[in-house]
Chain A
Amino acid sequence: MRPGILPGDLTFGVRLSTLLFVQPEIDCHAAGGEDDRIADYVRRAQAGEPEGYKQLFRLHVRRLHRLVYRLAGPGCDVEDLVQTIFVQAFEALPGFRGDSSFFTWLGRIAIRITLRLSKQSRYRPLPMDEGQDAAASLSPEGASDARRALARFEAILGSLSDKRRAAFVLHVLQGHSLEEVAALLDAKVGAIKVRVHDARLEIERQALSDPYLARYLQWEAKP
C-alpha cells in the first residue's frame, strides 16, 4: 500500500439524504467566466503546463464520475474507468479545437469509452460468492429505502440497450437537453427522442411491476 493511498480508496457509499428536487448535474453551457477559465486551462494544458491539466481534471472529475457511474452501472470499477477516460482525453487534447464546450468533448470520449469498456469483464460487476442480490445482502438495519431502490432502479437501467440507457441517463438523469444529448451521442435529435421514449416506457413497465420501487417512486398510488 503506497503512502497516501488506502485500501479504502473506494467510494461506494450511497447518498441517502435529501429527496428534494435537484437541478440537473451538468451544465454544458457554463457561465461566461467559467467558460473563459476552462478555455484558459485548455490552452495551458495544450502548451504542456501540468497546472492546466490539473485544473481541467479538478473541474470536471466529479460530474464525469457521476455520468460514468450512471452509464456503467453498479459493480463497475468506475474510478478506473474515469481515470482511463481522463488519460485518453488528455492524450487527445492537442486535437481539441474548441468547436464544442470542453465538457461536451470530454463527455463524448467518456461515453464512448464507458460503453465500450463496461462490457469487458474487468469492469463488469463481480459475481458474489453466494449469488445474493444487492438488496438481499443488506441487513435490515443497514438497508435503507434509498439503497434498495437504487439497486432495483440500476438493475432496470442495466436491462436497457446501450443506446437507450445512454440517452435516458444523459437526458433524464443528467439533465442535458435533447440537442446536447444528440451532440454527445453523435445522433439526430429525433433519434434521441425515440430512444428516451422507449427507455421511459420500459422503465415505467418494470418499475410499476416492482412494488418496492413503485412505492419508493410514489408511483403506486397513481391512477
Chain B
Amino acid sequence: MNACRKTQSLLFEQGDGRLAAEVRAEMDAHLTSCPHCQRTFALWTSALPRLRNLSEDEISAVSLRRMESEILRDLPGTVRPRSRRTLILALAAGLVLAIGVGMLSMRSATSPPFARLQTLWGKVTLSGVAMTEGAVMGPGAVLEIAAEGEATFLVGRGAEVRLVGPGRVAFDGTTKAPRLRLDSGRVVVQVAHRQSDESFHVITAQGRVEVKGTRFVVGYGAQGSYVHVDEGEVMVYRQGEAKPWAVGIGSTFWLKQELNEDNQPAPTPGPVQEPAPEPQTCAKATCADESARVRKAMRASHPMHAIAIVEETLRKFENCAPTSRCLDELGYLRAEALRQAGRLDGAVTAFKSLNRAGATRAMRQNALYAAAQLERKLGRSEEARQSLERAYAAYPDGALSEEALAGLLELFEGGDADARAVAERYLARFPQGMAAARARRILLGTPSVRPR
C-alpha cells in the first residue's frame, strides 16, 4: 500500500522525467506487479499530453500591447523628479527646452513638403521610377500605382491621401491648396479642417470635389467617377454645371451627369442637393450595451450565442443609422466570435471586411493582422503575407506595426531577397525590437536556431 501511495504521488514527476534513476527503477518494479497502479499510470500517460494542450489559445498581440501600455503607463518606480527641488529643476529644464525647441521651430518654419509618400504596399512609380517610403514630391508629380497596391501620402497641411491601385493620380496646386487629379483608381482622403485661406480639391474626368475638412472617397465606377462621404460634407462641381452640389455624410454622389434618352443632360433637381431626411441615429448606449453582451457571451465561451447577438443587433439597427464605429465594433466582435467557434475561414473573411474605407487605421491594422494570423494557421502563407503587408501599410505607427513586420520575417525565413528586404525594413524601424535578432540572422544568412 505504501508503495502504491509513493508511486502515485510521483506519477507526474516521472512523466516529466524528474526522478532519479534509482527512484524510477523502484517505481517500474512496483508497476510491473501492481495492476491498480498500472491502470492509473496508463490513464494519465494517455491523458496528460491532451490535457496540457487543452488550453486557452495564446493571448493575442493586440491584448498584449494594450496590457503593456496600461501597466507601464503608471509605473510605481519609474525615474521621475522625486523632490520638490528636483521637480523645480526639471520644470525649469523643460521650460528652457521648450523655448529652445520653439525658437528652433520658428527658425526652421519653412513650408512643409508638398507631398510625402508615407507608406507603400505594392509598386508606385513617379515618371516611371519606383518610389520608396519617405519620398517627397512637388506639384506636377504624376504617380502610377500597380494593381493590388496601396500608398498613403501626406499632402500639404493635414491631409492624408490613400491611393488604391491600379490607379493614376497627379498632384498639383500648393501646400495650402493642393489639387489631386485622379485619372483612374480610387483615393481615400482625410483632410483636416481648412483655414480660410486653404482649400483641397480632387478632380476627376467629370468634375471636382472641394472640401473644407472631412473624410471621403473618390473613385471610378461603372457610371464614371463618384464621391462617397464618410464624415462631414463636400461640395461637388460637375462639369458643365455652374452651381455645386452639397454631398453629406453617408452619401454617394456620381459626378457624371445623367443623360436622358436623347443623350442630353437630364434636368437636374436643383443647384444644391437637398439633404435627405436623416434616419434616426441609433442610440450610442444601444451599441455599447449590445457589444457588452457579445463580449460576455464570448468570455463565457459561447461564440455562437455571441454571433446571434450581433445579428440580432444589426436587425435592430435596420430602423436607425448606426455609426460606422459601432458597425466596425460589432463586425470585429463577430469576427472574433467566428474565430472562437473554430470557423476560421469565416473569421478571415469577417476580419478582412473591416479593411474598408472609412474604418480607422487602427481597426484596419488590427483586423488585417488578425486575418493574417488565421491565414497562417490555415496554411495560406501567401495570403498571410499580403495581409501582414497591408496591416503594416494601414498604420505604420500603429500598435501592431512591429508585430506585422515580425510576422513577415517569420514567413520569409528563407533568406532570399524578399526576406532580406523585410529584415532591413524591420531593423530600420525597430532596431531593438522583439524580432531584431531574427532580422539580423536573415541579413547575415545564418539559419534560425529555433525550430519552427
Is there an interface contact between B54 and A21, defined as CB atoms closer than 8 Å? no
Stretch at the interface among B65-73, B131-139, B230-238, B261-269: B65-73
Also in contact, A11 and B57, with CB within 8 A (given A4-B65, A153-B51, A217-B46): yes
- Bound form: Cα–Cα A197–B434 in Å: 41
Excluding A3-B398, A47-B79, 20 further A-B contacts by CB distance (< 8 Å) are A3-B360, A5-B62, A12-B301, A14-B55, A24-B52, A53-B72, A61-B68, A76-B299, A139-B341, A144-B342, A147-B342, A150-B54, A151-B301, A153-B51, A173-B51, A178-B9, A200-B44, A204-B43, A219-B46, A222-B39
A38 at the interface (CB under 8 A from B): no
Complex Cα gap A49–B302 (Å) = 42
Task: Please provide the chain B residues from 72 to 101 with a CB less than 8 Å away from any CB of chain A in the complex.
Answer: 72, 74-80
Interface residues of B in 34-59 (CB under 8 A from A): 35, 39-40, 42-44, 46-59
Q: 0/1 per residue, B320-364, Cβ < 8 Å to A?
A: 000001000110110110011111000000000000000011110
Smallest CB separation, A167 vs chain B (Å): 11
For the complex, is B418 an interface residue (Cβ under 8 Å from A)?
Answer: no
Does A171 lie at the interface of the complex (its beta carbon under 8 Å from any beta carbon of B)? yes
Among candidates A22, A50, A61, residue contacting B59 with C-beta atoms closer than 8 Å: A61
Complex interface: chain B residues within 8 A of A142 (CB): 303-304, 341-343
Query: Complex: how many Å from CA A164 to CA B69?
Result: 35
Assembly CA distance A45 to B79 (angstroms): 10
Among B275-315, those with CB < 8 Å from A are 291, 295-305
Give chain A nearest CB distance to B30 CB in angstroms. Answer: 16
Cβ–Cβ contact B43 & A132, under 8 A: no
Q: Which of A173-223 contact B (CB under 8 A)?
A: 173, 175, 177-178, 193, 196-197, 200, 204, 216-219, 222-223
Least CB distance, A59 to chain B, in whole angstroms = 11
B360 contacts across to A, CB distance below 8 A: 3
Quick one: which of B1-30 are within 8 Å of A by CB?
Answer: 5, 8-9, 11-13, 16, 18
Contact B300 A134 (CB under 8 A): yes
List residues of B whose CB falls within 8 A of some A CB. 5, 8-9, 11-13, 16, 18, 35, 39-40, 42-44, 46-60, 62-68, 70-72, 74-80, 291, 295-305, 325, 329-330, 332-333, 335-336, 339-343, 360-363, 366, 370, 398-400, 434
Interface residue stretch chosen among A88-96, A98-106, A111-119: A88-96
| B63/A11 in contact, CB under 8 A | yes
B50 touches A19 (CB 8 A): yes
- How far is it, in angstroms, between the C-alpha of A86 and the C-alpha of B71 when the chains are bound? 7
Contacts of B54 in A (CB 8 A): 146, 149-150, 153
Contact check, A6 vs B62: say whether CB atoms are below 8 A apart.
Answer: yes
- A62 in the interface (beta carbon within 8 A): yes
CA distance A94 to B339 in the complex (A): 41
From A14, A53, A138, contact of B56 by CB (8 A): A14
Within the complex, which residue of B9, B53, B297 is in contact with A22, where a contact is CB–CB below 8 Å? B53
Contact B53 A48 (CB under 8 A): no
Residues of B within 8 A of A134 (CB): 300-302
Q: Which residue of A lies closest to B302 (CB)?
A: A137
Nearest CB in chain B: distance from A185 CB, A? 16
CA gap between A150 and B297 in the complex, in Å: 17
What 8 pairs across the A-B complex have the smallest Cβ distances? A4-B399, A142-B341, A21-B49, A48-B79, A8-B336, A7-B329, A217-B47, A8-B332
Return the contact of A175 from the options B11, B16, B40 (Cβ within 8 A). B16
A12 lies within 8 A of B299 (CB): yes
Say yes or no for A172: interface residue by CB 8 A criterion: yes
Contact residues of B: prevailing secondary structure = helix
Contact A222 B42 (CB under 8 A): yes
Indicate if the CB atoms of A173 and B52 lie closer than 8 Å. yes
Q: Complex Cα distance A77/B56, Å?
A: 13
The contact string, 1 if C-beta is below 8 Å from chain B, for chain A 39-55, is 00000011111100110
Q: Are B57 and A15 in contact (CB under 8 A)?
A: yes
Q: Complex formed: what's the CA distance from A146 to B341 in Å?
A: 12
Contact A10–B304 (Cβ < 8 Å)? no
Chain B nearest Cβ from A76, distance in angstroms: 8
Contacts of A158 in B (CB 8 A): none
Q: A58 on the interface (CB 8 Å rule)?
A: yes
CB-CB under 8 A from B72, the residues of chain A are: 50, 53-54, 57
Contact of A66 among B56, B63, B335 (CB under 8 A): B56
Contacts of B297 in A (CB 8 A): 128
Give the residues in chain B near A53, CB-CB below 8 Å. Answer: 71-72, 75, 78
Given contacts A6-B62, A126-B299, contact A83 B67 (CB under 8 A): yes
* A78 contacts chain B at the CB level, 8 A cutoff: yes
- Which residue from A12, A172, A197, A217 sits with its C-beta under 8 Å from B50? A217
Other-chain residue from B62, B71, B291, B363 in contact with A83 (beta carbon distance below 8 A)? B71
* A110 at the B interface (CB under 8 A): no
Inter-subunit contact B434/A58 (CB<8 Å): yes
Q: Which of B35, B57, B59 is A79 in contact with, Cβ under 8 Å?
A: B59
Judge whether A24 and B16 touch: CB under 8 Å: yes
**Docked CA distance A132–B74 (Å):** 40
**Residue A163 is within 8 A (CB to CB) of chain B in the complex:** no
Distance (whole angstroms) from the CB of A97 to the closest CB of chain B: 15
Contact partner, A172, options B48, B291, B299, B339, Cβ 8 Å: B48
Contact status B12-A172, CB under 8 Å: yes
